[in-house]
Chain A
């Protein structure tokens, strides 16, 4: 008889792998990707493809260079690329998208040790790097494409995002709820269509990839605080990157707490910072900053919300 494998139990393992978790996230992002192309034209697809390709290529090359195991096939770089693209305006110059993607993978993820080791969300941090580095092009909001005139998009007239319009009190630029829900207005690629994001978020919840704690805490905090501050609650919920952030970025495994209470605290924290920036800050939008800030606090939240082992009172 050939040699038998002799390892420690368990000898069964579940069906979940890092790769199929990431695949589920990609599937969940597809409705928003389709919506982005419908709303902003084919250039949206170009930006998404460029970001994904650059992320995957930088991960591959960096790991080759550092003689690390190749992790391209776990698909996490694809998720980062998609999420970064979703956080960019459609008119972003391609070279800037490339630099952002490289920053996301190499600076934020790989320099800290690769998958699972990064303390901040790569897509969000890269977006903030780009906001600082390319302030102009990052706030150049194109209006939705008119398919009868052009298919490529991005050459349309610039318009304000709903949040910027609200901040400036330009009521004439503020879309109605249905338009907000369907996402037919200016903004980042993947954040405008609430319908598509909610569909994707529900898919992740049903598949058990994310738990409800963070998104519910995050969104509820924003809703309650908007109500207290006398703002239009629905408008605040449907505009900006709130839904995309709550479902896809505040639920990132490595950079957020793992326990139920940790997730709730994290979500509430994100909601509060978002509100502070939106209502009292200089910027119209604060979801990215709120998540980054809470990413930094994650180790402390985790420590405070550690689950207590079931010791039943220690007996000596």
Chain B
């Protein structure tokens, strides 16, 4: 069996651009939610002085994350702001003093066993850097270590434009393997698989060279078929296992971790500097000099683009992340987040959506869905308000990779409908459950 997928234009223009550090921005805006889970609680107030790496947000509950200051300077505002997702989020604005003084809190963690590794990862504030932003320590909180057969290192980077993971492998390959060493030692993992799409020849060579010094690391070269980097797709293509609906990779014996996340862990164990900066690909048709930059978290998109030579033409759309799954932001004043791996600015020609026309029933959507869903039937069930049908059509399986919308000749907003259908399905299931409970009483 082979999973469906699509060929997308690669546009990896910046693969050979070594990341450059941007000038320290005057101010940074750090949201308390840059991860999946509960937002962190701010522990600084207006007027406080902070240093680089100082804890400014504490995790609130289990699935949450720590947040650290990315610059040294003065807190000027702790206030609610509307995020690009349209939700109110507490943000801490810090005015930089330009010194980048490192906080005294920063020191290399003492790791002696699995527990202390988890504590260290939690303290580092690292979240899934491939884009999802799931707190990494939660992922590593495996109760039964026997269950972990392999760690799959996601280096597919299947989105067009983005090359930040490629650069991690090229420039920080050693740290990737230091991360592997830590997992091997404390998590007792016996098998590591690095999954890379075959359009990254140099990164593959580098990883193979480093892997040849070990016995348990395989470099799995994958065809460049989007969405190769989807968690379920990657586990299937590297281990041949299907992660059941509603289950985690761990249920089939896998832990999937992004390559940059792993390299960060390797780095953190050495010097203890928490997640305060990020390598980001700045590209797109509206960018003058596409490049990879290293920027403090909270830097505004405008500052980042300034570092890439500014705009070539007036941008019509700016994205967090790649063009297939990225989020369009309302303005370039938005900050760079922990899980931002690219900023793509598109000119009018690239950004303008094609006109939506009537469905011609070509079936391209269902013949390209990696999970074999039927977006056409889902759209119909959604319009007819049929929760039961949506349940049968397994719309909750959809990972919103965008293949269906990409191939649709009528340019129908299929991903959007799937998103809405998922909400409808959840409402239906909640209602059904409530009714069942009522009857039970």
Contact = CB atoms under 8 A, between A and B. Distances in A.
Given A12-B8, A307-B374, A310-B371, A117 B358 contact: yes
Nearest to A113: B358
B409 A309 contact: no
A247 to B, nearest CB: 16
B406 A5 contact: no
B221 interface: no
Nearest to A17: B409
Interface residues of A, number: 43
B214 interface: no
Contacts of A4: 315-318, 328-332
A9 B346 CA distance: 14
Contact of B244 (A1, A7, A254, A314): A314
Nearest to A311: B245
Nearest to A308: B372
Contacts of B407: 14, 16
Contact of A17 (B371, B377, B411): B411
Interface residues of B, number: 68
A9 B324 contact: yes
A11 B405 CA distance: 9
Contact of A11 (B317, B332, B357): B317
A259 interface: yes
B367 A311 contact: no
Interface string B342-384: 0010100001111001111111101100111110110000000
* Interface of A (DSSP majority class): loop
A12 B325 contact: no
Interface string A290-316: 000000000000000011111111111
A12 B160 contact: yes
Contact of A309 (B6, B331, B394): B394
A260 B4 CA distance: 13
B416 interface: yes
Given A8-B415, A10-B402, A12-B8, 7 more contacts: A9-B326, A11-B323, A14-B6, A21-B360, A253-B360, A260-B367, A310-B397
30 contacts: A1-B332, A4-B315, A4-B316, A4-B330, A4-B332, A5-B328, A5-B351, A5-B353, A8-B413, A12-B160, A12-B402, A13-B408, A16-B409, A17-B409, A18-B357, A71-B358, A115-B357, A115-B358, A116-B361, A116-B410, A253-B361, A253-B363, A254-B361, A259-B363, A259-B367, A307-B366, A310-B371, A311-B245, A314-B244, A315-B251
